[in-house]
Amino acid sequence: MPDLSPALRIGALAIWPPVVLAPMSGVTNRTLRALYKPFGFGLTVTEFVSSNALQYGSKRSMEMIDQHGVEKPVSTQLWGNDPKIMAYAAQVVRECGADIVDINFGCPAPKVTKTEGGSACLRDVERCEAIMRAVVGAVDCPVTVKMRLGWNENTHVYLEVAKRAEAAGVRALTLHARTAKQFYKGEADWSHIAALKAAVGIPVIGNGDLGDARDALVRMRRSGVDGIMLGRAVLGNPWLASGIRSLLEGTEPAPVPGPADRLRFALHHYRVMVEEWGEAHAVPQMRKHLGHYLKGFAGAAELRERVMRTLTAEATRREVEGTIARLEANAMVAA
């Protein structure tokens, strides 16, 4: 069946499905991006990376921008407050394989905003423009921007920043429809995303509260956006992206796998993490991921508590496999 929704076009890149995996600190490493890409993400984004850290060759930052290749196209997101350093960092990530350089004007985390990075940049529109112009001038690939409405309810600057971005040569905009001060409280106001789409001629990607496939399609259609970005809602539930892709293709989404199959995928994720990063690194990292997978079935909370205390991959595997066996045994009895 032919696609019912056009590709998201960012520069020369045609991105299908027009569904983007959001940048999430400590989460969207190369392993997760490669595992989640086939579910229905046309574009994946790295963890957001400090331009200052890249300037000094931070090993951790270089790991954050590393790629498998199978998850391409990949956008690398940078944060910082200095136009020259941001431009240098953009050149570094481009040389390391970034297909798109994304500028972070959206992160509300204090560790970022206390240095005037992320959403704190929105308090100074002139500086936002200087950063955008410096980054666009530094690389030969598309530059995009992810932002919030403004610093607080009294300072919605997203339309002004967007118009300056378009004039500076930015090729697409993502709007998370909350202010920085809201963090993730309240509801994302998609009327602002629709207003942004009407105000600019470059592609707009909508972000915020997209936890249901059918609702995501409705929001996409009503706002007129060119694509959508999925963040927290997809953690432990990559099948959300599959459902959205099916709807965009005009077909009915497949049922979400039951708890046993979801846990099997969680174990696969765990094994790949251990293989790629080593047990010492993977075990603490995977605790947060398993916390997302271990939801929605009887005994999930207790299992999650036990898994958070395991110290080895083998101990975690035994806990999860035991739960899978119990779930399947209970299902057979119920049948």
Provide the 10 A C-beta neighbour count for residue 255: 8
Q: Is 47 left (phi over 0), alpha (psi -120 to 50) or beta?
A: beta
CA 228 – CA 126 distance, rounded (Å): 28
Bridge partners of 8, per DSSP, are 15
Residue 197 near residue 186, CB atoms below 8 Å: no
Residue 108 near residue 119, CB atoms below 8 Å: yes
CA 284 – CA 150 distance, rounded (Å): 34
Residue 80 near residue 117, CB atoms below 8 Å: yes
Query: Which CA distances in Å does 211 have to 46, 217, 248, 335?
Result: 21, 11, 16, 30
Catalytic residues, by residue number, are 107
- Helix or strand (DSSP H, E) at 215: helix 213-223
